C-alpha cells in the first residue's frame, strides 16, 4: 500500500470532520491514510507519496510556525495543495489580486493597524448600517466582529486589543448571508464536484456548523459557476481542491473567500464526492509524474 498523510491538528474534538469518508475509496486504489498533526515538528514525511492539508484548523494561532511546517513537508514529499498556492492564500489580502483580475469581491477596507476613526467612517464609505471586521489571517470566524455604530463605540477597547498591529479587513455586513445564505462550490483538479448552501442559525451570521449553521446541497446556477470559475482562473498555480465561497451583493455573486488550505469539503453531503476527490487526486498526481 502506498501512503498518504492527512495534515490535521492535535485535537478535532470541537469540530465536524468528514475526511474519514475518503479512507475507503483511497484504499480501493491502493492507498493507506494516516492523519498527522502539523504541530508534531519531528514527524518524517518522506515515506508518504503526498501530504494533503485537511484539518489544521488552529493554524491561525501560529501562522508562521504553520508555514514553516508546510515548507518542511514540501522539502520531503509532494505537498497538496502546492506550497506557493497556500502561501498566497494564507493572508486574505489575496482578494486584492482577484479584484485586480476583474473578479467580483465584496468592498473591503484593509487595515495594517487598529484605527477607530477609519472604522467609524466605514459606515458612510459603504453606505451601510453594519460592518464586519476580521483578521487578514483567520479561520473558523475567530475574532470576527459584526458591528453597528453603537457597538463599535461600546467595544472599542476590545477591538483595539484584538487588532492593534494586526492586519485586518473591514467589509459591509451583507444581509443576504442571513436572508439567502452563503454558497460554497467545491472543485477537485479543475472539475466541479458539488455545491452547498450554508445558512446561519437564528440570530447569528456565522454559517459554520460549529456555530450552529445549517447545510443543504444545491445545484449552482450559471451565475454562481461564472463567478467561481473566474476566481479559479485568477489563482497563481494549479490545485487539487478549492472551495469557492460566494455571497450575493448588489445583484451579483461576489467571492468572499477562496479556501485553498484546509477547507471542510463536506463529503458527507454528496455521496459521490469522496470518489470524485480520489479520482481527482489520481489525475493530479499523474500529471505531476509526467
DSSP string, 217-285: E----HHHHHHHHHHHHTSSS--SEEEEEEEEETTEEEEEEEE-SS----GGG-TTHHHHHHHHHHHHH
Rounded Cα distance between 247 and 254, Å, is 5
Place of cell 477547507: 263
User: Residue 202: its pLDDT value, please?
Assistant: 76
Does residue 81 have a cis bond before it (omega within 30 degrees)?
yes
Residue 104 grid coordinates = 467580483
SS3 call for 133: strand
User: Residue 205: its pLDDT value, please?
Assistant: 65
The CA-based dihedral angle spanning residues 91, 179, 159, 56, taken in that order and rounded to the nearest 10 degrees = -40
8 Å CB contact between 188 and 280: yes
User: Residue 14: its pLDDT value, please?
Assistant: 85
Domains and CATH numbers, the chain: 2-90+274-289 (3.40.50.20), 94-104+176-265 (3.30.470.20), 109-172 (3.30.1490.20)
SS3 call for 7: strand
Residue ranges of the chain with pLDDT lower than 70?
Answer: 203-212, 289-290
Handedness of CA 186, 189, 190, 191 (dihedral sign): negative
The CA-based dihedral angle spanning residues 276, 232, 217, 4, taken in that order and rounded to the nearest 10 degrees = 40
Amino acid at each position: 500500500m502506498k501512503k498518504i498523510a492527512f495534515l490535521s491538528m492535535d485535537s478535532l474534538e470541537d469540530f465536524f470532520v468528514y475526511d474519514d469518508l475518503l479512507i475507503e475509496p483511497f484504499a480501493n486504489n491502493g492507498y493507506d491514510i494516516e492523519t498527522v498533526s502539523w504541530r508534531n515538528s519531528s514527524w518524517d514525511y518522506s515515506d508518504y507519496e503526498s501530504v494533503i492539508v485537511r484539518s489544521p484548523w488552529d493554524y491561525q494561532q501560529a501562522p508562521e510556525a504553520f508555514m514553516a511546517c508546510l515548507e518542511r513537508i514540501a522539502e520531503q514529499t509532494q505537498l497538496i495543495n502546492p506550497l506557493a498556492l497556500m502561501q498566497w492564500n494564507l493572508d486574505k489580502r489575496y482578494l486584492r489580486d482577484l479584484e485586480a483580475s476583474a473578479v467580483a469581491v465584496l468592498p473591503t477596507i484593509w487595515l495594517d493597524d487598529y484605527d477607530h476613526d477609519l472604522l467609524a467612517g466605514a459606515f458612510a464609505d459603504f453606505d451601510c448600517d453594519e460592518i464586519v471586521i476580521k483578521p487578514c489571517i483567520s479561520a473558523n470566524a475567530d475574532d470576527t466582529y459584526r458591528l453597528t455604530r453603537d457597538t463599535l463605540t461600546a467595544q472599542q477597547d476590545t477591538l483595539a486589543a484584538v487588532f492593534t498591529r494586526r492586519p485586518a479587513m473591514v467589509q459591509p455586513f451583507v444581509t443576504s448571508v442571513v436572508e439567502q445564505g452563503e454558497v460554497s462550490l467545491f472543485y477537485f483538479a479543475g472539475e466541479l464536484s458539488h455545491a452547498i448552501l450554508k445558512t446561519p442559525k437564528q440570530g447569528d451570521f456565522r454559517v459554520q456548523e460549529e456555530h450552529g449553521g445549517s447545510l443543504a446541497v444545491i445545484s449552482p446556477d450559471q451565475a454562481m459557476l461564472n463567478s467561481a470559475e473566474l476566481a479559479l482562473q485568477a489563482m497563481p498555480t494549479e490545485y487539487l481542491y478549492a472551495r469557492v465561497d460566494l455571497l450575493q451583493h448588489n445583484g451579483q455573486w461576489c467571492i468572499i473567500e477562496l479556501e485553498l488550505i484546509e477547507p471542510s469539503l463536506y463529503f458527507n453531503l454528496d455521496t459521490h464526492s469522496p470518489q470524485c476527490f480520489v479520482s481527482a487526486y489520481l489525475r493530479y498526481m499523474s500529471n505531476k509524474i509526467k
